[in-house]
Amino acid sequence: MIVLGVESSCDETGLALYDTQRGLLAHALHSQIAMHREYGGVVPELASRDHVRRTLPLLNEVMQKATIQKQDIDAIAYTQGPGLAGALLVGASFACGLGMALNKPVLGVHHLEGHLLSPLLASQPPEFPFIALLVSGGHTQLMRVDGIGAYQLLGETLDDAAGEAFDKSAKLLGLPYPGGPEISRLAEFGNPGDFTFPRPMLHSKDLNFSFSGLKTAVLTVIKNQTANICEQNKADIARGFVDALVDVLVAKCLTAMKESGLKRLVIAGGVGANRQLRAALNAVAAKRRFQVYYPELEFCTDNGAMIAFAGAMRLKKNPAAATRDYGFNVRPRWPLHELSAA
């Protein structure tokens, strides 16, 4: 079965073809980062318009790469939510229009399920069950995953997401959007311990997170600098910030591993690309004898491959999950726990 995946929830247009027999056939991505950078964040209307421009050329690109015909597609999966309403509508209308033209069934996919399952696209995928840390631009959640659609929320952020904390703190340091990778790179040159930031909820005895205070702490430090902040200063602040955030993420993962007794930890979402987080997790995993799994770097942030894959997994379990009813609705807000089991 060949599934076309269409992702357009935010500022990446991603298309991909996944074959349940042969694996990922092709994927193509256009990131709008450069376009939004001058505004310091994603401008929803610009995002929607750009998805309109990019979708069809990207479809042609994946068709060519995979050397298949449109009629070879068995189903079309699109991101139904959560995300920006206008951006989601572009992908949904594209998928349903194409489905209608080709007479192929379509299904809406939950964007976070896409992220959550993206590590299964790697060459050595984890087996179920596992603990998953989903750390993206809009979400920070710990979950127990027993199979496709069997997700139990163990804890989540009470305010900002980890990626959001990265982006907001980076902005305070004058770094361009999106700040996550930028602040991470800068932190490599910083001295550990020159700035110590709070570890929010480290001892809260649950698996929840809170990151908005961390951003405020960065702001306070910057305001308290009497002289102009030099580059080394910035790097030291970046280092203090990254160390604090990584400490909390790692500690909560450890607690979840201990409490569940499971031996596999899976990281998903954009912040999963962070090298300091990966290094720290690899170190504790070796010590505590559990395995950590990551998505391929290119599949940490938004992409079409994870949507094609999540759609294919849903359809494998239940072929009736896709429909030839081409009326669609998107769900800009859609908590993962409201997603029905496969």
Site of interaction with Fe ion (CB under 5 A): 136, 302
For residues 188 to 207, the per-residue mask of contacts with Mg ion, x marking binding by CB under 5 A and - elsewhere, is: --------------------
Rule CB under 6 A: is residue 115 a binding residue for ligand ATP? Answer: yes
Give the DSSP per-residue string, 260-280: H--SEEEEESGGGG-HHHHHH
- The single residue among 151, 302, 309, 314 that binds ligand ATP, judged by CB under 6 A, is 302
Residues in 142-181 that interact with Mg ion by CB under 5 A:
none
The listed partner (Mg ion, Fe ion, ligand ATP, none) that binds 166, CB under 5 to 8 Å by sort, is: ligand ATP
CB of 132 to Mg ion, least distance (A): 20
* Terminal alpha carbon distance of the chain: 17
CA distance 290 to 299: 23
Rule CB under 6 A: is residue 5 a binding residue for ligand ATP? Answer: no
Tell me if residue 97 falls in helix, strand or coil. Answer: helix
Q: Which two tokens stand for residue 58?
A: 């990207």
Question: Nearest residue to Fe ion, using CB?
Answer: 302
Strand ranges inside the chain, DSSP E: 2-7, 12-19, 23-31, 75-81, 106-110, 130-135, 140-147, 150-156, 264-268, 291-293
CB of 219 to ligand ATP, least distance (A): 18
DSSP annotation of 340: P
CA distance 118 to 108: 17
Give the DSSP per-residue string, 185-197: HHHTTSPTTSS--
For residues 285 to 304, the per-residue mask of contacts with Mg ion, x marking binding by CB under 5 A and - elsewhere, is: -----------------x--
Q: In what side-by-side order are the strands of the sheet with 2-7?
A: 23-31, 12-19, 2-7, 75-81, 106-110
CB closer to Mg ion, 8 vs 141: 8
Which range touches ligand ATP (CB under 6 A), out of 29-37, 58-66, 175-183, 209-217?
A: 175-183
What residues line the site for ligand ATP (CB under 6 A)? 10, 83, 111, 115, 136-139, 163, 166-167, 178-181, 184, 269-271, 273-274, 301-302
Catalog residues that contact Mg ion under the rule CB under 5 A: 10-12, 302
